[in-house]
Amino acid sequence: MAAPSTTPPATRKVTVYVTLKPTLLDAQGRTVEGAIRSLGYDAVSNVRIGKVIEMEVSGGDEGGDEAAIQARVAQLCDKLLANPVTESYRIEVGR
């Protein structure tokens, strides 16, 4: 009888970018933009503030399949990491 594999499942680095939906006023972005302009950087405009979430996700039964990882992380975003009413998100799965 063969011993069970002790090799850990492959992990992939996943980055999630969460931003306010473009139709919503970004009050924090406006405040930062005002501060930037007060420092003399007049060429800066339309500042939007968001969040970046980095994690490592094991492939599990899918063996690191990118589409399966995307789907699982999208579920996390919908349930916890982003407010689907006010925020959009983009997921990048690294190699």
pLDDT at 5 over 60: no
Torsional class of 46: left (φ above 0), alpha (ψ -120 to 50), beta (otherwise): left
**Residue indicated by tokens 């992380």:** 73
Q: Is residue 4 part of a domain?
A: no
Query: Looking at the DSSP assignment, which residues form a beta bridge with residue 37?
Result: none
Per residue in 37-77, pLDDT (tens digit) is 999 999 999 999 999 999 999 876 656 689 999 999 999 99
Instruction: Single out the residue of 10, 13, 9, 11 nearest to residue 92, CA to CA.
Output: 13
Total count of domains within the chain? 1
Residue 2 covered by a domain: no
The rounded distance, in Å, linking the Cα atoms of 91 and 15 is 6
Q: What confidence tens digit (pLDDT) does each residue in 18-47 have?
A: 999 999 999 999 999 999 999 999 999 999
> Which CATH number characterizes residue 28's domain?
3.30.1280.10
The tokens 């579920």 sit on which residue? Answer: 75
| 3 in any annotated domain | no
pLDDT at 37: 96
Question: 42: which DSSP letter?
Answer: T
